[in-house]
Amino acid sequence: MITLKGHAALVTGSSKGVGRAIVEACAAAGADVVLNARTQGPDADQAVEACRAKGAGAEFVPADLSGPTERVVEELFEATLRACPNTDILINNAGQYFDLPFEQMTLERFETTLRLNVTSGYFLTQRFARHWIERGIAGRVLFIGSVNGRLAEVDSTAYDISKGAIEMMVKSLAVALAPRGIRVNGLAPGLVRSAQTSWLDREPAKARWIAHHTPNGQIPPADVCGDGAVYLVSDQAEHVQGHMLLIDGGISAWQHPEPM
C-alpha cells in the first residue's frame, strides 16, 4: 500500500476537477491537506468535507493565483503554514484556459494564462523550497500539466504553450532541487470528465471522436489522476525525479488512428 501518513499537502486549484480528485486521493492515503481555490464556495466546502470524511485533517485557503504573483504567493505560503505547519508536499494544479483563436488573442489573456499556469507554480515552489531547505525537510513537488504540453490543439495556443512550459519546468526544477533533497515531478492528464468539460455531454459526436482517438477508447472521470499523483509524492517514488507521468489513455502515443 502506498501511504502518505505523516505528510501534509497543499493542492492548488483543488475545489473541483483534477485538483479535487488529487486532494481527495492524498487524504485517502493518509495525508493532511490544505485545499485552495480563488474563493470559498459550495464546491470548496464539499471538497473539504470529503477529505475530512476520509479521516484527514483538511483546511481551505483562498488565493487567486492569477493575481500579482509575489504578493499572492507569499500570502498563500503563510496561510498554508498557519493551517498546516508540517506541509511538505506542494501540488501545483491551479490552471485555466483563456484562449481565443490565435489572430484574436490579446496580451492580457496571454499574460494571464502564463501567470496562472506557469509563473505562480514556479514561485510558489521557490517559496516552499526555501522554507524546506532552511529546515532540512525533504519536500516533494508535483506539477499538473496536460497532454497539451506535447500535442497542440486548435485555438489553444497560449494554453498549449503554458503546458509545454510546465513539462520543461519539471525537469529544470528537478535538476535544481534534487541536490537539496527535494523531489520534483509532473503529471499530465488527457481529457477527463469534470465540470470544465461538461460540454462532452452536450456534444456527443465530438466526445465519440475524442474517444476514438484515444487507444483505450475512454474519457474517464478526473478520479483517474489521483493514484498517480499520490505515488509521485510518496516515499515509494524516492528515485523518480524530473518525470512527467501521462495519464491519457494512450492518446499521446497514437499517431494516426483508423477512420471512424
Q: What is the CATH number of the domain that holds 97?
A: 3.40.50.720
Q: State the pLDDT confidence band at 225, using cuts at 50, 70 and 90.
A: very high
- pLDDT, tens digit, 9 for 90 and up, residues 83-136: 999 999 999 999 999 999 999 999 999 999 999 999 999 999 999 999 999 999
Q: Are 26 and 231 in contact (CB under 8 A)?
A: no
Q: Is residue 222 part of a domain?
A: yes
pTM for the predicted model, two decimal places: 0.96
Q: Is residue 49 part of a domain?
A: yes
Q: Is residue 94 part of a domain?
A: yes
Is residue 1 over pLDDT 90? no
| Closest CA relative to residue 21, chosen from 197, 174, 172 | 197
Q: Is residue 135 part of a domain?
A: yes
Q: Is residue 110 part of a domain?
A: yes
Q: Is residue 260 part of a domain?
A: no
| Closest CA relative to residue 65, chosen from 144, 155, 7 | 144
Q: Is residue 3 part of a domain?
A: no
In the prediction, which pLDDT does 259 show? 81
In the prediction, which pLDDT does 153 show? 94
The number of distinct structural domains making up the chain is 1
Question: Residues 61-90: what's their mean pLDDT?
Answer: 97
Question: In sequence order, which residues have a C-beta less than 8 Å from that of residue 188 and are 6 or more positions away?
Answer: 144, 145, 146, 147, 149, 150, 163, 167, 244, 245, 246, 247, 248, 252
Q: Write out the residue range of the structural domain in which residue 49 sits.
A: 8-249
